[in-house]
Chain A
Amino acid sequence: MSSRSATVPGLGMLRETGKLFALGLDISRGLFQRPFQLREFIQQAWFIASVTILPTALVAIPFGAIISLQFGSLASQLGAESYTGAGSVLATVQQAAPLVTALLVAGAGGSAICADIGARTIREEIDAMEVLGVSAVQRLIVPRVLACMLVAVLLNGMVSVIGVLGGYFFNVVLQGGTPGAYLASFSALAQLPDLWVGEIKALIFGFLAAVVASYRGLNPPPGPKGVGDAVNQSVVITFLLLFVVNVVMTLIYLQLVPPKLG
């Protein structure tokens, strides 16, 4: 098998991708297997939340602001100031919030997971656990993936609120928009599914970030430097995946859910 990988370019990459998907499937199956590792889950959720909450909040404010400012100035050029609220809120809730959340969950939480699992792998702890008849996926990975998903969903809510408030502040205070028009256009064009899709995206991004981090952590290149490389790769791979998946999900959403016409 491996002798062919040297001759056919790209086969190695395909194999890695296949293994990643296999791990994803194992994890999905593990989500429903008992016993559930509640303790590990709570510890990990707490840990991921603690490393992501502050950076996310700090990123959310300027992110809401730039969207609001950009959209506000464009709208005023077109003479559609009254729709600034709708535009910036929708952009924030549907796109910016899940992406910001995912980038931070991947960057702060995923890298920590990858480093932790990677270090355990090279120290043979994972092997030892497997040999003791305990599935490492079930015992270590599943709680982490669930924790990532939960934290991503919760963070997404926080980013949405902070982003919308920040956008409101910058539009109303700095660009001289009218509060009433901002809110009115918002409720005219936004609908509940917009929030749902944002949350579903966050859920899936959280899952992806954790699966990629765990995969790289379980299969690091040899040696301590390998763990460093694995962490690096896991963050890069997650970012790439997130943007691709985001495009696909946005397309599907726009096809499936008809826009609300004010």
Chain B
Amino acid sequence: MGAEVVIEGLTKSFGKQAIWRDVTLNLPPGEVSVMLGPSGTGKSVFLKSMIGLLKPDKGKCEINGTDIVRCSERKLYETRKLFGVLFQDGALFGSMNLYDNVAFPLREHTKKSETEVRKIVLEKLELTGLSGAEDKLPGEISGGMRKRAGLARALVLDPEIILCDEPDSGLDPVRTAYLSQLLIDLNAQIDATILIVTHNINLARTVPDNIGMLFRKELVMFGPREVLLTSDEPVVEQFLNGRRLGPIGMSEEKDSAQMALEQEQADAGHHDGSTEDLRGIVPQLQPTPGLPERQGAIRRKDRVVQVLHTLPEPAREGIIASLTPEERRHYGIPEPAVTAGGRTQVQGNLPAGDVADLPGSPAWPSAEQSAPTQPLRPRRGGA
């Protein structure tokens, strides 16, 4: 199981300029979380503070019970071995070729023989689609390849926590989709806790279990993905939809005059930059068929159901709708009432008997996790 990260009251400033204040959150073990936020809100600084590269002014950051902010240097280096970090530009060692770069952590921290090292390195390079590029120097390859090589290097020690600083920047949408799938598959295989810092909305909607958002020097919210995706907080709404209309401006904040002017223009029919309302819960990315179920996702379900009554209405509905009837019975949640939400309606209309005699019903309990909504689809036409 991945390590749990508990962050309490973390505050960081450079000189007089506060970066963020009093950030408190909890990365549950083995779950995938995304930290969103406009550029310049200190997302990267937040990542660096988590691994002890920057020293926060206040607060604590506990990883497996070790407070990164206050522990001894020896302890810090020990704890860092649990991390795999993907930097924005890959941060490969310029003087080594890709093979040596990926082999570096193994050679430094393990006593593995060179043949074992070779096996692991080639496997990770294969995983990130870099087979055949072992002898290239980081200066000779594209930014996307550097990024993937950086990921390969972050993975060789089988980390318990994976931190990704903007994994999508400089990657095309297709490669980003592959990378997202790779992260989810990894999570299914090694059950590592993953934190992704990004402003890619598509990634944020489909990949994580939990989403947080930094804005105006604080953590606006952090919680299950359903909460943020259905939130009507103006900042979140604006950010998800990529609109100019709202509290986020070109420089970090907007004054009210500017806001009023933009509202006026928008009312007069001026395009506000967004296309459609992207809020709402979309199905989460699942591990590639054949891989084990994500343990983090199972734990998350238990966790979320326990706090269900504290969540806002739309998020609660979304979560209930994402559960299979089997799970609902297990948690003792009544079938959702028929609401306007499309997905809920489909599931609500299915008679209970219909679900029981689905094709391959003996295999039903194992198939339900990997693709909870899939088996229902063929039925939708008939029903």
Determine whether B15 belongs to the interface, using a CB cutoff of 8 Å to chain A: yes
Chain A residues within 8 Å of B89, by CB = 123-124
B43-57 interface (Cβ within 8 A of A): 48, 51, 53
Q: A125-B91, A133-B78, A133-B105 are in contact. List 15 more A-B contacts (CB 8 A).
A: A2-B15, A120-B93, A123-B91, A124-B89, A127-B87, A128-B150, A130-B53, A131-B51, A131-B53, A131-B80, A132-B80, A132-B81, A133-B80, A133-B81, A133-B109
Determine whether B85 belongs to the interface, using a CB cutoff of 8 Å to chain A: yes
Among residues of B, the one whose C-beta sits closest to the C-beta of A119 is B94
Min CB–CB distance A23 → chain B (angstroms): 13
Determine whether A134 belongs to the interface, using a CB cutoff of 8 Å to chain B: yes
Chain A residues within 8 Å of B16, by CB = 2-3
Min CB–CB distance A7 → chain B (angstroms): 12
Given A133-B78, A134-B108, check contact A127 B92 (CB 8 Å).
no
A135-150 interface (Cβ within 8 A of B): 135, 139
B80-120 interface (Cβ within 8 A of A): 80-81, 83, 85, 87-89, 91-94, 104-105, 108-109
Asked whether B105 lies within 8 Å of A132 as measured between CB atoms, the reply is yes
Min CB–CB distance B305 → chain A (angstroms): 35
Asked whether A135 lies within 8 Å of B87 as measured between CB atoms, the reply is no
Chain B residues within 8 Å of A139, by CB = 108
Min CB–CB distance A115 → chain B (angstroms): 12
21 chain-A/chain-B pairs, Cβ below 8 angstroms: A2-B15, A119-B94, A123-B89, A123-B91, A124-B87, A124-B89, A128-B85, A128-B93, A129-B93, A130-B80, A131-B53, A131-B80, A131-B83, A132-B104, A132-B108, A132-B109, A133-B80, A133-B105, A134-B77, A134-B104, A135-B77
Chain A to chain B: the 4 pairs with minimum beta-carbon distance, closest first: A128-B91, A124-B91, A133-B81, A133-B80
Chain B residues within 8 Å of A130, by CB = 53, 80
Chain B residues within 8 Å of A127, by CB = 48, 53, 87, 91
Min CB–CB distance A18 → chain B (angstroms): 16
Name B's A-contacting residues (CB within 8 A): 15-16, 48, 51, 53, 77-78, 80-81, 83, 85, 87-89, 91-94, 104-105, 108-109, 150, 153, 157
Query: Whole-angstrom distance between the alpha carbons of A131 and B77 in the complex?
Result: 8
Among residues of A, the one whose C-beta sits closest to the C-beta of B83 is A131
Chain A residues within 8 Å of B91, by CB = 123-125, 127-128
Given A127-B53, A134-B108, check contact A3 B83 (CB 8 Å).
no
Asked whether A133 lies within 8 Å of B77 as measured between CB atoms, the reply is yes
Chain A residues within 8 Å of B53, by CB = 127, 130-131
Query: Whole-angstrom distance between the alpha carbons of A197 and B51 in the complex?
Result: 45
Query: Whole-angstrom distance between the alpha carbons of A169 and B150 in the complex?
Result: 59
Checking B85, B93, B108, B109 against A131 with a beta-carbon cut-off of 8 angstroms, the contacting residue is B85
Query: Whole-angstrom distance between the alpha carbons of A125 and B104 in the complex?
Result: 12
Asked whether A125 lies within 8 Å of B92 as measured between CB atoms, the reply is yes
Among residues of A, the one whose C-beta sits closest to the C-beta of B57 is A1
Query: Whole-angstrom distance between the alpha carbons of A120 and B138 in the complex?
Result: 13
Query: Whole-angstrom distance between the alpha carbons of A124 and B91 in the complex?
Result: 5
Chain A residues within 8 Å of B104, by CB = 132, 134
Query: Whole-angstrom distance between the alpha carbons of A139 and B96 in the complex?
Result: 15
Encode A41-74 as 1/0 by CB contact (under 8 A) with B: 0000000000000000000000000000000000
Checking B15, B85, B88, B109 against A3 with a beta-carbon cut-off of 8 angstroms, the contacting residue is B15
Min CB–CB distance A30 → chain B (angstroms): 12
Q: Which residue among A119, A127, A139 has the maximum number of chain B CB atoms within 10 Å of its CB?
A: A127
Min CB–CB distance A40 → chain B (angstroms): 10
Given A131-B85, A132-B105, check contact A125 B80 (CB 8 Å).
no
Given A2-B15, A3-B16, A134-B108, check contact A128 B87 (CB 8 Å).
yes
Query: Whole-angstrom distance between the alpha carbons of A135 and B87 in the complex?
Result: 18
Min CB–CB distance B111 → chain A (angstroms): 11
Chain A residues within 8 Å of B87, by CB = 124, 127-128
Chain A residues within 8 Å of B88, by CB = 124
Checking A2, A123, A134 against B94 with a beta-carbon cut-off of 8 angstroms, the contacting residue is A123
Query: Whole-angstrom distance between the alpha carbons of A133 and B53 in the complex?
Result: 11
Min CB–CB distance B12 → chain A (angstroms): 13
Min CB–CB distance A201 → chain B (angstroms): 32
Among residues of A, the one whose C-beta sits closest to the C-beta of B78 is A133
Min CB–CB distance A133 → chain B (angstroms): 4
Chain A residues within 8 Å of B80, by CB = 130-133
Min CB–CB distance B185 → chain A (angstroms): 23
Query: Whole-angstrom distance between the alpha carbons of A3 and B164 in the complex?
Result: 33
Min CB–CB distance A15 → chain B (angstroms): 13
Chain A residues within 8 Å of B77, by CB = 133-135
Query: Whole-angstrom distance between the alpha carbons of A135 and B76 in the complex?
Result: 10
Min CB–CB distance B1 → chain A (angstroms): 21
Query: Whole-angstrom distance between the alpha carbons of A247 and B157 in the complex?
Result: 51
Min CB–CB distance A10 → chain B (angstroms): 17
Query: Whole-angstrom distance between the alpha carbons of A130 and B78 in the complex?
Result: 11
Query: Whole-angstrom distance between the alpha carbons of A125 and B139 in the complex?
Result: 13
Asked whether A125 lies within 8 Å of B15 as measured between CB atoms, the reply is no
Among residues of B, the one whose C-beta sits closest to the C-beta of A35 is B108
Query: Whole-angstrom distance between the alpha carbons of A199 and B78 in the complex?
Result: 40
Q: Which residue among A2, A123, A124, A134 has the maximum number of chain B CB atoms within 10 Å of its CB?
A: A124
Chain A residues within 8 Å of B78, by CB = 133
Chain B residues within 8 Å of A134, by CB = 77, 104-105, 108-109
